[in-house]
Structure 1
Amino acid sequence: DEIRWYKDNSVIMKLKNNDITNYMKKEAYNMSQNGTLQIHRLVKEDSGNYKVQVYNVEGKLKMEKNFHLIIQDHVSKPKITWTCSKKTVKVICEVNQTDKASIHLLQNNKAVPGNKPASANGKLKIEFTYRNTTFPAKFQCEVKNDADKKTVEQEIRCSELGSLDIVLILSIAGGAVFFVIFLALLIYCIRKKRAERYDEEEEERSMQNQKMSDELKYRDLPQVPAHAPQRQPRQQQRPAPQPHPPHQAKLPQPRP
């Protein structure tokens, strides 16, 4: 039997009567005794259409098969960039490769729907614009072909994002601080007022107690003697002489 290998319609290897002939003069090609073609140290130039033919001893074709070999490079490592504004975030996933590679943008390991990948200036990229989205968030950029796959992850934070401006945020924070201070002062004043009122009531109560104590101290309380003294008989006093009206002397009457 005779076995022939072709690449793009050119004979590269032949096996006949156990003799192997290398027509390409390349060490990368080798052929075993059973007719298997081996390619060592594959490079991109080895891609192409391969064909094998088997002939019998009479030189008639017994079998023919065609193969299409594609050699793909390892994919490059992608990168994620982003641009923040007040209400939107543009996320871009790109890689320096366009040959037979696909690129995907994911958020929290879920595919992001939207724009299709674009190829320009030797780069493959996909971008998406978010509106009113909660950040920070994790994004993944995935690039792959039939031979390789690479993924990078990036957490995106945007200080400018959100409808609340920094002034509004500071105003809310300042208002909250002012309210807390006002509440603390109000509680302090109420407690101080209660304490002063309590002190005044306590002082007034103390003064009343002191006054009562002084009154009890200087009050002459009657003492009960051990032996009661005998009562002396009261002498009757003669009433004072009453003044008599002046006696008028009668004048002698003349005799008739």
Structure 2
Amino acid sequence: MPAIPASKPYRIGRSKTGLGLFATRPIKKGSKIIRYFGPLLDCNKKKHDAIENKYLFQLNKRWTIDGSVRKNIARYINHACKPNAESDVNPRKKKIVIRAIKNIEPGEEINYDYGTDYFKEYLKPIGCKCDACEKKRKKKAAEARAEKKAEKLKQQAKADKLKAKASNGKVLNGKVLNGKAAKTPAKAKPAKAKSEKAKSEKAKSEKAKAKAGGKAVKTKGAKVAKAKTAEKPATGKSKAKAASKAKRADA
């Protein structure tokens, strides 16, 4: 890894895609960060035109800079779809400078857009790993999960509706279907209350029987006693009949 003077506002560090260039101090918008350099290739020469690598930076139809040399620190700058820097190309001077298009804070990775051709040839097949694309993929994945969940709930609701229709309003899985709720069973009364009620019913029955048979019933389980009929006083007619019977007996 090439040495970088302490006066430079950047350093080489570990990135998502391997190595990257990071700011070591604030870099103001519009300021020059670093120059992209390397051997100048003439595309009209077959020897130069045959060179292929990922660090070729085209100035125009004829001239290209081969930035694969290790002294070219700018080669460590990664691509971003929403970058904080840009490549300032000067074909006349055959120079390329990387310039900040935003204020870059210390620790922030420096990046620029590599262009459509490079993106299609090298990045699209493997998937761009810049922050913007990562966020886009995460958002898309979250939307897909939400859509899948909604579809699952929809299918479940449909299945529940069919079950409800088939069961004629019965309760399935603890849910009320067709607007009918399951009747809760009545609470069982205490055994003591049942016993008292039975005793009361028995007492009433015995009292009714006693009344029908001319008997009196004492309350609270008292013994049933025979009812005594009161003696009626003798009338005048009954006295006369008795005297007549007595005379006949004497005769």
Assess same fold via TM > 0.5. no
Structure showing the higher helix proportion among its residues: 2
Whichever of the two has the greater Rg, that structure is 1
TM-score, normalised to structure 1, is 0.27
Structure showing the higher strand proportion among its residues: 1
